Amino acid sequence: MAQHAAGATAQRKAVGLATFYVGEALCGMDILKVQEINKQMEVTRVPQAPEYVSGVLNLRGRIVTIIDLGKKLGLSPTQPTEASRNIIVNSQEEHIGLLVAGIADVGRAMLSECLWPICGKGHAGRTVKDI
């Protein structure tokens, strides 16, 4: 009974979301996971890296791995444009940049109103945190 009440409380919880585009899909992530949003697109390719890794960049002395979120999620690759950005997040004590087509807005939403991802390549229902 207490577990059900805790789950219901979590569903009523509001979260801050940073929203962005992966191709034409509007996506969002917990704003507290975002360290910064960066326009730097000059990356150094990494030999034998997975296809979804665009490369690495030096961000004020820190090496940041850049992941093309479109490729990682089984969508179309992100083409660098004036609107493209890297969303820098901390992931397991490592800095990761998520290459996205563009930034949308920051807002709040109730967890119960959030739609969980449905995407290709075996990631159906998984979040970026899970991948």
Q: Which residue has the higher pLDDT, 1 or 97?
A: 97
What does pTM read for this prediction?
0.77
Q: Which residue has the higher pLDDT, 73 or 86?
A: 86
User: What would the pLDDT profile of 74-130 be if each residue is shown by its tens digit?
Assistant: 889 999 899 999 999 977 778 899 999 999 988 888 877 776 654 444 444 444 454
In a domain, 58, yes or no: yes
Q: Which residues contact 121 (CB under 8 A, 6 or more apart)?
A: 73, 74
- Look up the CATH number of the domain holding residue 25: 2.40.50.180
**Phi/psi class of residue 20: alpha, beta or left (left: φ > 0; alpha: ψ in -120 to 50)?**
beta
Count of domains in the chain?
1
Q: For residue 92, what pLDDT is reported?
A: 75
In a domain, 127, yes or no: no
In a domain, 131, yes or no: no
In a domain, 15, yes or no: yes
DSSP-assigned beta bridge partners for residue 30 = 17
In a domain, 123, yes or no: no
User: What would the pLDDT profile of 48-63 be if each residue is shown by its tens digit?
Assistant: 999 999 999 999 899 9
Domain holding 50, by residue range, is 2-113
In a domain, 48, yes or no: yes
Q: For residue 26, what pLDDT is reported?
A: 87
